[in-house]
Amino acid sequence: MSPSTPSALDLATSVRSGERTAIDIVEESLAAIEALNPKLRAFLKVDGNGARQRAEELDAARQAGETLGPLAGVPIALKDNLCTRGLETTCGSRILEGYRPPYDATVVERLRGAGAVIVGKTNLDEFAMGSSTENSAFGPTSNPWDASRVPGGSSGGSAAAVAAGLVPVALGSDTGGSIRQPASLCGVVGLKPSYGRISRFGLVAFGSSLDQIGPLTSTVAEAAALFSVLAGPDPRDGTCDERPAPDSLAALEKRDVSRLRIGVPRAAFGAGVEASVTAACRASLDALSARGARLIDLDLDWSDLAIPTYYLVATSEASSNLARYDGVRYGSRAAGHEDLIGMITASRGAGFGPEVKRRILLGTYALSAGYYDAYYRKATQARALMGRQFAAAFEQVDVIATPTSPTPAFPIGEKSEDPLQMYLCDVFSVPANLVGLPGLSVPCGASADGLPIGLQLMARRFDETTLLQAGACLEDARPEPLGLPPIHRLAKGGAR
Amino acid sequence: MDIDRIAELSRLALTEAERARYAKDLDSILGHFERLQAADTSDVPPAVSAVALAPRERDDIPRESPPVDVLLEGAPARQDDLYEVPRVIAAE
């Protein structure tokens, strides 16, 4: 949350009206990146020339009397697992270092069509596998609120870039919480839409039954605006639903907190959640209740099922999806091998980092003969069971609220040697992916030492409208926003 | 766990130190996952996706694809319009 950063919606309005030029806005963003990125390491690649050229085209189009799109002149950062034609896309991996895709992802085409200006590609855990951005082969990103702490992950670069005001908005991807958790840890809004809402064409695949693309923004209104630009059918992604994108921004005006029924799973506010997180989330729910929302306690408890189910499904799918990195068609190839299998095995061994290897091994094991029934098949049954439990809960409530993450941002290095502890961070975020629901993280408070805390809301599949309305109600009800992250104050002199 | 076998199936060249480390990590992770077995799923059919996707048809319309040179640009080794790879079938 950076109140000094103008909203993407205000920027677009000012560019469309001619009050400001796109090039002026883009130069501001590039200057802020130049000043702060050396400390944050949120961006892996900055496309200054491409961004300036696009901004000048937009300004020229306006001069010529053309009507510009809803995101006219808005600088945007993309997680580096979204394909951009001719612009390096690495997934934070050595195996894709230098890879320049021959095509744009559908979301990239839609953003360009709406007038957004892509300024660069952001850091992530390698192939989006992680909850801290420490698994990037190119080094970790820092949290703008405390540079010694992680920004969360895997979309940590995008979350940090928005929190520090380098760009007003960014895109991430979310397979098990990778938009919502870094949003929570950096104090910004993160939306994971329903499975099937947004085309994944051009998103480098991790877990295909789980992956979704979504926005990271300062406000719920900006998330709604981006969602409406990104959503909708795409013949190039067979899992993408046919229904058209709703006008979620307009729907926000119709929000009515007194009609909201919020389900509160008791188990999500109990053991294993840091006291500051429980307190901030409870306080924001009480504030919603004071404004007329109904809070309904739920017995829904996925604490034993969610992590094993998710990590078996996600790693199984990843072990298959990542088979394509074989040193043949793209990526790096190990030298000195005279047989094909030897070359493939060595290229993968040298090109993938430790967490990616760990997950490929786990997924391969879960799918292997003799273990398939006990692991992968059992996980798919538990997944169906969770679907039933959520469907029953949504008969009584409109949204379900939990903390987004059990803790605020943790120190860099604290969990990186203990993969299981890192996995357990995802307990509240993975159900939305397993069940296909939309999920939203909204800043709701801070810990005693000033680290942001987010509340997660989930809604029925394809009911992003109610989800975003509930998020906007939370923004109305919560205490004062967090103010500027320290990194912004530190380098402010340099940025201007 | 037979880490050598899983590494082979995964097509991952691993050092001895990596093998020891991943075997230990996977034991710890799978130990935690044992709790999944307690879930009663006897009447639950497996769901490989959150949603049942009906096969969808679309018109088969030819469209422009990137030129061969662009597609081959990222290849580690090429020969003319082909990907070049080491020998596939071992020499007798």
Region A385-411: what's the mean pLDDT?
97
Q: Cα–Cα distances in Å, from A150 out to A27, A44, A109, A185, A415?
A: 28, 16, 31, 8, 10
Coil, strand or helix at A402: strand
Token pair belonging to B44: 């639950």
CATH code of the domain covering residue A484:
3.90.1300.10
CATH class of residue range B1-38: mainly alpha
pLDDT of residue A324: 97
Nearest CA in chain B to A360: B10
Coil, strand or helix at B29: helix
Region A339-368: what's the mean pLDDT?
97
Q: Cα–Cα distances in Å, from A415 out to A336, A379, A411, A446?
A: 37, 25, 8, 21
Best CA proximity match to A158, nearest among A81, A50, A47: A81
pLDDT of residue A4: 53
Average confidence score pLDDT of chain A: 95
Q: Cα–Cα distances in Å, from B59 out to A109, A137, A236, A264, B63?
A: 22, 42, 12, 46, 12
Contact yes or no for A326 and B47 at CB 8 A? no
Best CA proximity match to A445, nearest among A231, A270, A247, A283: A283
A419: pLDDT strictly greater than 60: yes
Q: What angle do CA B36, B40, B43 make, to 5 degrees?
A: 130
CA distance A43 to A160: 9
Asked if residue A180 belongs to a domain, the reply is yes
pLDDT (tens digit per residue) in A161-209 = 999 999 999 999 999 999 999 999 999 999 999 999 999 999 999 999 9
Q: Cα–Cα distances in Å, from B80 out to A3, B71, B83?
A: 55, 12, 8
Tally the domains of chain A.
1
Asked if residue A2 belongs to a domain, the reply is no
User: Measured between CA atoms, how close is B87 to chain A, in angstroms?
Assistant: 5
pLDDT (tens digit per residue) in A374-396 = 999 999 999 999 999 999 999 99
Region A412-428: what's the mean pLDDT?
94
CA distance A25 to A52: 10
User: Measured between CA atoms, how close is A320 to chain B, in angstroms?
Assistant: 9
Region A132-140: what's the mean pLDDT?
98
pLDDT (tens digit per residue) in B33-79 = 999 999 999 999 998 888 877 777 888 889 888 899 999 999 999 99
Look up the domain containing A163 and give its range: 8-256+437-495
Asked if residue A126 belongs to a domain, the reply is yes
Residue pair A6/A32 in contact by the 8 Å Cβ criterion: no
Region A400-417: what's the mean pLDDT?
96
Q: Cα–Cα distances in Å, from A432 out to A213, A268, A302, A386?
A: 13, 14, 11, 10
Asked if residue A416 belongs to a domain, the reply is no
Region A288-307: what's the mean pLDDT?
96
Radius of gyration of chain A (CA): 21
pLDDT of residue A484: 74
Token pair belonging to B39: 């879930």
Q: Where are the domains of chain B?
A: 1-38
Chain B residues whose CB is inside 8 A of the A374 CB are 37
Side-chain half-sphere exposure of A197, counting CA atoms within 13 A: 32
Residue pair A182/A172 in contact by the 8 Å Cβ criterion: yes
Q: Kindly provide the ipTM of the predicted complex, given to two decimals.
A: 0.95
Best CA proximity match to A314, nearest among A154, A472, A185: A154
Among the partner-chain residues B5, B6, B47, the one whose CB lies closest to the CB of A380 is B47
A279: pLDDT strictly greater than 60: yes
